[in-house]
Amino acid sequence: MSSRCRARLAALAALALLSACDREERQSRAQPVPETLPTPRQSILQPGVPARTAADPRARAYENNSYQMSQGQLLYQKMNCSGCHAHGGGGMGPALSDAEWRYGGSMEEIVATIDQGRPNGMPSWRGKLTEQQMWQLAAYVRSLSAQPRQDVLSSRPDAPSSTEPATLQSRQPVVPSSPAGVQGTSR
Amino acid sequence: MTGIARDGEALKGAELEGRLDRTWRPAPGLWGWLTTVDHKDIGRRYIYTAMTFLILGSILSVAMRLQLARPESGLISPARYNQIFTMHGTTMMFLFAVPVMEAAAIYVIPLMMGTRNIAFPRLNAFSYWTYLFGALLLWVGFVLNVGPDAGWFMYTPLSGPQFSPGKRTDIWAQMITFTEVAGLAVAIELTATILKFRAPGMSLNRMPLYAWAILVTSIMIILSLPAVALCSGMLIADRLIGTQFFNPFEHGDPLLWQHLFWFFAHPEVYIIFLPATGFVSQIVETFTGRPVIAYPAMVLAVVATGFLSFGVWVHHMFATGLPRLGYDFYTAATMAVAIPASIQIFCWIATMWLGKPRYATPFLYVIAFIVTFVIGGLSGVMVASVPLDLQFHDTYFVVAHFHYVLVGGAVFPLLGALTYWFPKFSGRMLSEGLGKLAFWLIFLGFNIAFFPMHITGMLGMPRRVYTYPANMGWDGLNMLSSIGVGVIVLGGLVFLANVALTLRRPRDAAPNPWNAASLEWAAASPPPPYNFPHVPVVRSATPLWEQGPLPVMTGLRVDDRELLITTAIDARPDIRYPSPEGTIWPLLSAIALAALFIGSIFTPWAVVIGLAPLGVAFLAWFWPKGSPTAEPVIE
Amino acid sequence: MADGVRFEGDLAALPTHGFGHRSITWWGIIGFMVVEGMFFALSFAAYFFILDKEQTWPPAPLAPPDLLAGSLLTILILLTEIPNSWIKRAAERYDLATVRKGLVVMSAAVIPLFVLRGFEFASLNVSWTDNAYGSVMWLLLFLHTTHLVTDWGDTLVLTALMFTEHGKEANRFVDTSENALYWRFVWLSWLLIYLLIYWVPRWLP
Amino acid sequence: MKKQRLVAMLAAAAALLVISAIAIIVVRSRAPQPVAQAPLTPYAGSSGAVTARSVGDGDDGQWTMAAKNFASTRFSTATEINTANVSRLKVAFTFSTGVAKGHEAAPLVVGGTMYIVAPFPNNVYALDLTKPGAPTKWTYKPRPLSAAQGVACCDVVNRGAAYANGRIFFNTLDNRTIALDAATGKELWQTKLGEINLGETMTMAPLVAEGKVIVGNSGGELGVRGWLAALDADSGKIAWRAYATGPDKDVLIGNGYHPFYAMDRGRDLGVTTWPPEAWKQGGGNAWGWVSYDPKTRLVFYGTGNPGPWNPEQRPGDNKFTTGVFARDIDTGAARWYYQTSPHDLFDHDSVNEQILLDMPVKGRMREVMVRPERNGYFYVMDRGTGEVLSATPFGHVTAYKGVDLKSGRLIPNPAMEPREGQVVRGICPSAPGMKDWNPAAFSPLTGLVYIPHNNLCMDWGSYEASYIAGTPYVGADVKYYAGPGGNRGVFTAWDPVRGRPVWEIKEDLPVWSGALTTAGGLVFYGTMDGWFKAVDQRSGKLLWQFKTGSGIIGQPISYRGPDGHQYVAVLAGVGGWPGAIVSNNLNTADATAANGWGVAMADLPQKTTAGGMLYVFSLSR
Amino acid sequence: MTGGGGLQGEQFNRLFTLFMGITGFFYVLVIVGMLAGIAIRGRAAGTERGERLARTALLGWIAAVVLGLTVLTVGSYASERRVSAAIPARPPLEVQITANQWWWDITYKNAVPANELRTANELHLPVGVPVKVTLKSNDVIHSFWIPSLAGKQDLIPGRVNDLLLLPTRTGQFRGQCAEFCGTQHAHMALDVTVEPVASFRRWQQAQLAPAAPPSTPLAQAGHDLVMSQQCASCHAIAGTPASARFGPDLTHLASRRSIAAGTLPMTRGHLYAWIADPQGVKPGNNMPYIGFDSAKLHAVVAYLQGLK
């Protein structure tokens, strides 16, 4: 093997290491950063359809991490979310596993909904949950409609069976697409 | 028919060897390396790979001992530590211990049986590749920080979809599937080889004890591996498609996992230990210069161990709250395993009394084996007792116990066996001086490292903790254990240096340098691709110690790969059988299988889609090449 | 070999194949049958383990699997033993023509089994995600289906082989005979699974 | 010869078999299916003694309270519509409430005006019946807090208003009791009684008697401490408030408290039968029906389930949840209490209606109340003492083994007791019970009680619940499914004297509407797919039905209009606990949606849609 | 040796001595035999008599081994019997322990539910009183083990196990989860105090009382923070609105010996460390980083310190 070839292999290995799978990392320690919750701006003409804000980098980080999602699953039960929203089917609160999002279905919007509460009964969890926990919950909530990457979802909780496993659902993302150009101008 | 060349008076010596070599030698170069089906190539490859994993597993243990040397150490994070100890256990059990025992048998058994190749040689090649891909899957996963982290025993529900999110456990479970396919294939090959490929005259009661050990081991593998394959299949189904096998809410049960897992994993200990007793028997025989006494008792002990090992799995579950009555049965059964083991120990010692021991390095390993393994065996008797086990279970006492059993009982004999058969593998004798130095370092280091663990366990230190508080009385003992591991590593390095230095020397070993009695020593060192120019004939249990030249039979084809099948019990010549040529398809099949298994971690559809390439590969594998050459052709 | 050798006999006159336990293929097939038999046995153990944990079998409110498809399959798979025995005997007689015919019949006879098996999955009345009962039912049926698939694949390959020049090789007849043996294992194991899936839930309260 | 005979016999046997099979199929496929074939014997006439005591005003053709009278008989003496002419029943007029949630209320009719309370936002409409088409006379909008919707456990329903002395009294979801001037719709007073931030809501229909407005709260699924309060009808001031848990002074237990059974006696049982502090989140809400006996001046009502559902979290009897109270209407002091489900295992609230009857028990006339209970037993109790005279299951029960009449204790079936961490299957009746809030009616014509109810079983998996104020406090995942027979609902005519069903109608969907009996020999009820039905009181024969725009879960009433003719009215509008599947647009792929209705009601969206509409029927002329 | 604090521990010690004696005897026999065999090399080599002798000795050896094993089996069975005979099936004290990742939820059962006592990570047992420990798990398999009292029992989700204990010696012991249960298996300890009955009763009475109200303005501020911030979403403090059950009960937190299931000793400094950065102290546990500033931290610690 030529030395050049070796160097190339080494570079490849290093690259593989760098791109190591973050989505498995048990990153339990939130970055001690000031609370900067996303505040998606509601558009003027379509109050139900929020304008898209610039994507928060944490959205992808939490949504693509199976550990964070499983923490969200734990919180979903322990914080009594399941009491209103069942296991996605809804009850007192709206269904989370269907294709309708009253207040937007993006990570940022779900976090904002958890944080601020919503007028028809969704309580505000600000000060009751930490920001990290809200992100974890949002990631789990999106997994109820099988939206994050399939390889991040887990098939079922250790709980009474209630739904077909998320990993088998083929539901597509349901956030209404925004008209082109809104992203930069609506601020 | 006249065109067929056969060995015999007319065709012997150098000409025969040259023609046999042309027939049996794998294709040259990389292609030959990929396509070979020679049991010696595969066996050597298997051994190298397994030993590599021994080294990797040992590196992990060094990491763990560094972390545990001091209390509340922050060297390794808990998440990483859990991966490391999981990888250590998994690597040692699934990627090192079982494969290396099978690997040694793949290399030695056909030679010992006096035949030219193993039964189902293509399956053998396939088995190696499958094992390799499974092992790579696990280790690449670990390097990419997707290593499993729920323990090598993967207790549900910790390993289930809720508490082990992500792909870590899936990778572990599919690695099990790979090694299970590989292990079962080898077990079937070895069983068939031992039962049908023995040299004429080697009736069952003339079979070397090592062959008996491998026969029983193979049958145990066949009976026990399905259990782990089944439960890891259930686990991955729970994790990927949402079955409910281990979900207590839906009336699955975490204990179902434990039953199935230990139904495999307890016999597995004996699957590792029995071949080692075979090594010990062969070494004792050679280095005392006489057969091991009470051959029937030895054989019965091996068979009884295999049999009893299936009745003891529940002693891993004494703390789970199963009915008490069952516990007493399993206590008795576990104690009973000590009886065949004690018979073997007695016979070896009596053989030493009756023979003339030579203190070569392999024999030293046997002595170390007895000194350490008996400790492990006796502490095993302790943990068989329910009241004692309820105190020892999952403490460092158990860690000490099974390292005494597995390192003392299997790794020491293995190192002895490697030294013993090294001239056969390589044609060179290992240096005795370095060998003995390595032996003493490893032996002393092992005891320094693991004996204190008995005490740390008795002092209440649980297993599988990434750290422990200070002032529990555990600090000094842990430090001592860590130092011991350092000594073992030193010994291991000397051993490796010995191998490396020896391999640089020219080949110098005679066919039978130790003056051993079994057939593998009748072949050249290293053996040619066809092993034996003529079919050796056996007249006693120690054929090479018989007077006069080696009796042989002739008449096998020389121009095509052919070997002799004998009857299962008396080893009377029965059939001349074609042995397959080298081919690439086992490798391609293994690649297709790997794609299917690995893909299935990410989507169940991989099973469906992956079947097509796998089917094509298998078809090409089994489809006969060229025109029929074997006689007779039916018209 | 330092001592040289002494020629004691010649093997040239030995045959190159034999049926049954004389054949190495037979030992391989037996080995795989034991492996798969263990798979089945352990799945049965898991079945009864889970059965023991459930309050009723099948758990309320599920209905036991519908009998029709499974029973038809059972009858059909028992009937396939007729061509199967026919093939096995013909193979042991080296009767190439009959073997060819038999294998074609056999390859075709398995196809309706797959159709029925599809209906069987549909008639289990439970999904594998519902509860452990559903999981173990699907497991049993799935395990057996893999055996149907493998043996069918094997039969297809053999059928194709028999129509080529390789069909004239004696060892192909040995293979054919052992394939027939394996099919017996497939349907024998099915009889047990049939009982477990369809009848035990009806017999137990 | 012999052979021929054999063949003939075989053929005959086969023919017989086929014919009988066909006959059985034909017979069994007929609906409704009477349990006992006619002739029916246990009528008032034949048994001679069963009569409902009319403790309210004499029937003047009005409908002033949801249950018609203090005895809660829901029996109208009007006979204009009867078994002979009911087939001519036609829609007289309709009225939309504009709300697409569950309509559980009973309309009131007083002096030519109909009053309707809609579900949240609880608008009150007064319809002028004297004018054609019954135009709106006035509308009152209480504008409850919208956040209240988030703590209403089982849809944002309201079960109706009450009328007395020219006033309309009703509750809003955000815990206000409001009194309106019936003539003008002007607000007279309003009293805030609870806090939605703690999960409290009010959905029940008040009862007005002796100048007191009796109201109670809801929220048993949110760990809300239950109470029943009496407000002064003139001022809205709280006269007394009796809690269901806590020390005796909170429960208004004093010297006058004489429960019949030893298990209900003791000091501060509302504290000692709970783990420390647990009574503060203990539930026991009085969200159901209240009856009143003017003779003894006793108010009767039941308390709801204890919180949380998971029983392992609250060892003890959990007094005074899931039981019946008799209280003095003036002081609220408890006279007696009987716990129907001590240490409730399955959310079997005890809030169902109590129908006050005088009837013979073991040959002696007794003043009783009858309660078709959620736990599946039909209780006949002495209303003076709280003694249980009989408790008979009126459906398929596996959850309990019976009621021990000596100790009064319900005997649970140990095999069905919930265990944390494992689903228990086949529990019948399910959490919504053999019968939920939907009230039964009594007919003195037949002496039968007509019970709209469920035939549901369930799987129950409990786990530890965490109390966070204002969020659900349940700790169980449940799944309902049809019980034996495959029908989810039943409409049963029950003979309270003999303790057995006379006939029953199997309904596909749970029967979630109330029942109405009339002197015309009819009984009315609605189904969740929108059929409003009239059946014969004696035989259960379906005489008339009409398909409304949305599923019916309301309470039908009957009144005499200003024109002197009889009318029947009902609110259609699917919703409520099971109907939330439709009204809240839930996802039925999740079996646990709406606390267990997900799969049980998976077909509901195909069978009905949400909406809110009043239907009033009269004979076509 | 760790046993000896309880009935099982005493039995363990006796049984272990028996095992050590017998297994030690056999070990010495084997080693001496082997050393003699290789030292006195070849004395009996190859003789028929030697082989016959060896075969006879083998029979004797097997008999000795079987005898030894029988003694051990019977001994261990007898030991078990003695334990179960000494403890009544329904002991006067029943403790229910529920394992969570990675802490112990402890309830002292009582016939009067209102006298049920709930605490976490600290077990007090009266000496000489048999106790039934009921074991459950909320998530994965854990194992309950107090080395000094001996005896070990798994806590398995979906199952209820129990363990009968009889402490015979007073003292402070350490219990530990003995089944690998995930990231923080190492930090899942249990503080055990075995004490005289009288002081146990005193402890029980003190623990039954609701939490002490805050006594200083700073503690009052801490109380308000605990009630209004994330703390109350997970923890319960009896006598206050905080009633959640996700985390350990904090009612008498300051009376305990350690923080976070034996992770840190209970000191003011450690309380600061724990609340300020729980993930740094015990990575992976479920207590989140909240981000109190120093003033809030002072207040919260002041309040928690008052929860004696």
Phi, psi (rounded to 5 degrees) for B574:
-130, -50
Q: Which residue from B minimizes the CA distance to D425?
A: B250
E250-E253-E255 Cα angle (round to 5): 150
| First vs last C-alpha separation in chain E | 34
pLDDT tens-digit series, residues D590-616: 999 999 999 899 999 999 999 999 999
Question: Which domain-ending residue is among E86, E120, E152?
Answer: E86
Q: Which tokens hold the place of D175?
A: 């815990």
Query: How does pLDDT run across E234-274, given as a tens digit for each residue?
Result: 999 999 999 999 999 999 999 999 999 999 999 999 999 99
Tell me the range of A160-164, B17-21, B602-606 where mean pLDDT is highest: B17-21
Confidence of residue A173 (pLDDT cuts 50, 70, 90): very low
In percent, the amount of chain C with pLDDT more than 90 equals 80
* Rounded Cα gap, residues A71 and A140, in angstroms: 8
Lowest mean pLDDT among D9-13, D174-178, D234-238, D398-402: D9-13
Check D421 against B249: CB less than 8 A apart: yes
| pLDDT tier at B405, thresholds 50, 70, 90 | very high
Distance between CA atoms of residues E44 and D361, nearest Å: 103
- Residue E35 CB partners (closer than 8 Å, separation 6+): none
Q: Is residue C12 part of a domain?
A: no
Using the beta-carbon criterion (under 8 Å), do A165 and C129 form an inter-chain contact? yes
B249 neighbourhood in chain D, CB within 8 Å: 421-423, 461, 477
**Range of B322-326, B351-355, C183-187 with top mean pLDDT:** C183-187
Question: D554-584: per-residue pLDDT in tens?
Answer: 999 999 999 999 999 999 999 999 999 999 9
Q: Is the predicted pLDDT of residue B571 greater than 80, yes or no?
A: yes
Average pLDDT for B66-87: 94
How many domains is chain C partitioned into structurally? 1
Partner-chain contact E233 A28, CB within 8 Å: no
Q: What is the pLDDT of residue E40?
A: 74
Separation of alpha carbons A24 and E298, rounded Å: 36
Here the CATH number for the domain that contains residue E168 is 2.60.40.420
- Residue E54 pLDDT exceeds 60: yes
Question: Binning pLDDT at 50, 70 and 90, where does residue D41 land?
Answer: very low
CA distance to partner chain E, nearest, from residue D99 (Å): 35
Give the pLDDT confidence score for residue C171 in this predicted structure. Answer: 85
Among partner residues B151, B324, B347, which is closest to E58 by beta-carbon distance? B347
Answer whether B250 sits within 8 Å of D421, measured CB to CB.
no
CATH superfamily of D2-619: Quinoprotein alcohol dehydrogenase-like superfamily (2.140.10.10)
D151 closest CB neighbour out of A121, A160, A162:
A121
Interface mutation target, options D146, D587, D595, D597, chain A, most CBs of A under 10 Å: D587
E110 & E191 share domain: yes
pLDDT in tens, A48-96: 545 455 577 888 889 889 999 999 999 999 999 999 999 999 999 999 9
Asked if residue C84 is part of any domain, the answer here is yes
Q: What is the pLDDT, as a whole number, of residue D459?
A: 94
Q: Chains meeting E at 3+ CB pairs closer than 8 A? A: A, B, D
Chain D residues touching E97 at Cβ < 8 A:
none
Do the beta carbons of residue C39 and residue C143 sit within 8 Å?
A: yes
Query: B368-398: per-residue pLDDT in tens?
Result: 999 999 999 999 999 999 999 999 999 999 9
Using an 8 Å CB-CB cutoff, list chain B residues near E46: 290, 354
Residue A19 has pLDDT above 50, yes or no: no
Q: Do A28 and E230 touch (CB under 8 A)?
A: no
Q: Same domain, yes or no, for E50 and E103?
A: no
Q: Is C4 among the domain residues?
A: no
H-run or E-run covering E176 = strand E171-177
Give the mean pLDDT of D486-508: 93
User: D65: phi > 0 → left, psi -120 to 50 → alpha, else beta; which?
Assistant: beta
What's the pLDDT band for D175 if we cut at 50, 70, 90?
very high
Is D347 part of the annotated catalytic residue set? yes
Q: Which amino acid is at C68?
A: L
What pLDDT is stored for residue D346 in this prediction? 95
Among D221, D328, D529, D536, the active-site one is D221
Tell me which chain C residue has its CA closest to the CA of residue B241.
C129
What range does the domain containing E292 cover? 217-305
Q: What does the pLDDT read at residue E7? A: 85
- On whether both E139 and E197 belong to a single domain, the answer is yes
Name the pairing type of β-strands D400-403 and E103-108.
Answer: unpaired
D8, pLDDT greater than 60: no
pLDDT in tens, B455-512: 999 999 999 999 999 988 999 999 999 999 999 999 999 999 999 999 999 998 999 9
User: Which one of A98, A114, A162 would you mutate to disrupt binding with D, by most D Cβ within 10 Å of its Cβ?
Assistant: A162
Whether the per-residue pLDDT at D1 is higher than 80: the answer is: no
Phi, psi (degrees; rounded to nearest 5) at D173: -60, -30
pLDDT the model gives residue A23: 65
pLDDT band, residue B627 (cuts 50/70/90): low
Q: Is A36 on the interface with E (CB under 8 A)?
A: no
pLDDT at A147 over 90: no
Contact at CB, C18 and B242, closer than 8 angstroms = no
Q: What is the CATH number of the domain that holds C48?
A: 1.20.120.80
Which residues are within 8 A (CB) of B343 and not within 5 positions of it... i.e. 6 or more apart? B294, B297, B298, B300, B301, E58, E61, E62
Half-sphere exposure of B287 (CA within 13 A, CB side): 25
Q: Work out the mean pLDDT of chain A and round it to a whole number.
A: 74
- Rounded to the nearest angstrom, the minimum Cα separation between B237 and chain D is 20
In a domain, E2, yes or no: no
> Mean pLDDT across chain B, nearest whole number?
93
Share of chain B above pLDDT 70, in %: 98
Contact D277 E243 (CB under 8 A): yes
Distance CA E274, CA E264 (A): 8
Contact present, A92 and D157 (Cβ < 8 Å):
no
**Which residue ranges make up each domain of chain D?**
2-619
Closest-CA residue to D339 (of D361, D359, D317, D323): D323
Contact pairs from chain B to chain E, CB under 8 Å:
232
| Residue C44 forms part of a structural domain | yes
Predicted local distance difference test score (pLDDT) of residue D33: 40
Total domains in chain E come to 3
Is residue C119 a part of any domain in this protein? yes
Which chain D residues are closer than 8 Å to E210 by Cβ?
Answer: 276-277
pLDDT at position D36 is 35
Residues 6+ apart with CB under 8 A from E55: B293, B294
- Say yes or no to pLDDT of D383 above 50: yes
Residue A145, SS3? coil
Of A80, A89, A90, the CB nearest to D466: A80
Please tell me the predicted confidence (pLDDT) of residue B240: 92
Tens digits of residue pLDDT in B427-443: 999 999 999 999 999 99
pLDDT band of A30, cuts 50, 70, 90: low
Looking at the predicted structure, is the pLDDT value of residue C134 above 90? yes
Condensed to tens digits (0 to 9), the pLDDT of residues B132-162 reads 999 999 999 999 999 999 999 999 999 999 9
Chains contacting D (3+ CB pairs below 8 angstroms): A, B, C, E
Tell me: pLDDT of C93 over 60: yes
**Which residue ranges form the domains of chain A, and what is each CATH number?**
56-187 (1.10.760.10)
* D595 flagged as catalytic: no
Lowest mean pLDDT among B3-12, B29-38, C164-173: B3-12
The rounded distance, in Å, linking the Cα atoms of C73 and B181 is: 30
Q: For chain E, give the mean pLDDT.
A: 91
Amino acid at D121: P
Mean pLDDT across E31-53: 77
CA distance E98 to chain D (A): 10
- Asked, for residue C47, whether it belongs to a domain, the answer is yes
- Among A154, A163, A169, the strongest candidate for a mutation testing the B interface, having the largest count of B CBs within 10 A, is A154
D277–E239 CB contact, under 8 Å: yes
Q: Distance from D427 to chain E by nearest Cα, in Å?
A: 18
pLDDT of residue E51: 84
Interval B233-246 mean pLDDT: 94
Q: Per mean pLDDT, which range of A2-16, B575-589, C13-27, D295-309 is the poorest?
A: A2-16
Q: How far apart are CA D57 and CA D572, in angstroms?
A: 28
For the question of residue D305 being annotated catalytic, the response is yes
Q: Note whether residue E267 is domain-resident.
A: yes
What is the C-alpha separation between D155 and D144, in angstroms, rounded? 15
Across the range E110-119, mean pLDDT stands at: 93
Selected catalytic residue, list D155, D174, D264, D347 = D347
Choice among A173-187, B107-121, E208-222 with the minimum mean pLDDT: A173-187
At D89-134, the pLDDT tens digits run 999 999 999 999 999 999 999 999 999 999 999 999 999 999 999 9
DSSP B525-585: SSPPTTS-SSEE---SSSGGGSSSSEEEEE--BSSS-EEEEE-TTT--EEEEEE-PPP-SH
Containing structural domain, residue C186: 21-203
Query: Whole-angstrom Cα distance, residue E174 to residue E192?
Result: 6
Q: Give the model's pLDDT for residue E22.
A: 95
Residue E3: pLDDT band (50, 70, 90) is low
